[in-house]
Amino acid sequence: MPSLSFYKFEPAPGQQHLVLHIGKRGIGIEETAEYVPSDSLFAALVAQAALLEGATTALPDFAQAFLGDDPPLLHSSVFPRIGELLLMPRPALEVRMDATDQREAIGKGFKKLRYLSPKLFTMVCESQDVGDVPLLKLQYGTVWVSQAEATELPALWRQGPNESPLAWQQRVAQLNLWDIEQIPHVAVDRTSNQSVYYEVGRTTFAPGCGLGLLVEFRDETFRPRFEHVLSLLGEAGLGGKRSSGYGAFSLIQAAQPLASPQFGDADRVLTLSRYIPRRDEIGLLQDERAAYNIVAVEGWLLSPTLPPQRHQRINCLTEGSVLALDGAAPLGRIVDVSPAPAQQAHPILRSGLALTIPIRRKSDAT
């Protein structure tokens, strides 16, 4: 497999924190998330490309490049990042901790776990026992990082020279990588002149923390185009409430790409993005080797020439899903989620293309 390019989303110039509003499924705007799903990022890129190309009655060329059987790139969801350390989604696999006392000590903590450091992520994918690995449990137990990787963390999360291991673990357990809060707002109704109170969710990342994106370029000639649109998106803002200053970011590419894992004779893959199977890929979900969760995606379309409208609801497999591998890796597909009846001149697209990594056969794992 080719290497994966790693892009870091840093605070915009003049800002100390990366601040976002990424809407979650619900009836209001008070809910927000700490990561950007791949389908949401793709929709934002297409909207930005439409503005750049001046496409108002047709799909921008940027989007049309993804409609065939050979898209120019595959990208992950945008995951939280601590310094240079990109947090990976918890795989839909057993987190092995063979010692009974260790499992009992964690107990319901397994249910909280959402993100793993790269080392722990690889160990879980290889079905290795993580029980003997000294851990740092961050963000109320939702993030596990191996202590060996702590040297890659910003200084605030590293062990001090005169700090005992226990004191260090207790201290960093109280530090937030990101804060999610509801910010009060008041709007004035233009007809009645009465004020209306509402709240908006806001995700604020700690200094040194932010977001990261992995991209597999299948066509290197498309890289400059993608990076240009992504940079413009950083200036315009990603997510909601951009007029309030949310969502702006600076794009920084890591100096060295990340090597894609090579797990030998793989018979499964794990998704780093949301995934919508093609018709000929449905059988992969029915295979006994598969393990996955499904999320319903609904929301509002974004178009420079159309009023806000709800797009059609679709179902996607979540990040961290495990799929059978029979031959080529599953690709997924782009779907049209245009409102019905359609009120626009071009399709409204959502990406279910899958960025995957191979997983070694369980019988081969050590």
Residue 45 has pLDDT above 90, yes or no: yes
Q: Tell me: the pLDDT tens digits for 190-246?
A: 676 666 655 567 899 999 999 999 999 999 999 999 999 999 999 998 877 766 678
Residue 365 has pLDDT above 70, yes or no: no
Which one is predicted more confidently, 77 or 298?
77
Burial zone of 34 (CB within 10 Å; 0-12 exposed, 13-18 middle, 19+ buried): buried
pLDDT confidence tier of residue 264, bands split at 50, 70 and 90: low
Nearest to 354 by CA among 256, 231, 270: 270
pTM of the model: 0.89
Would you state the pLDDT for residue 312? 79
Mean pLDDT of 15-32: 69
Asked whether 322 and 92 are in contact (CB, 8 A), the reply is yes
What size, in residues, is the chain?
Answer: 366
Mean pLDDT of 142-169: 92
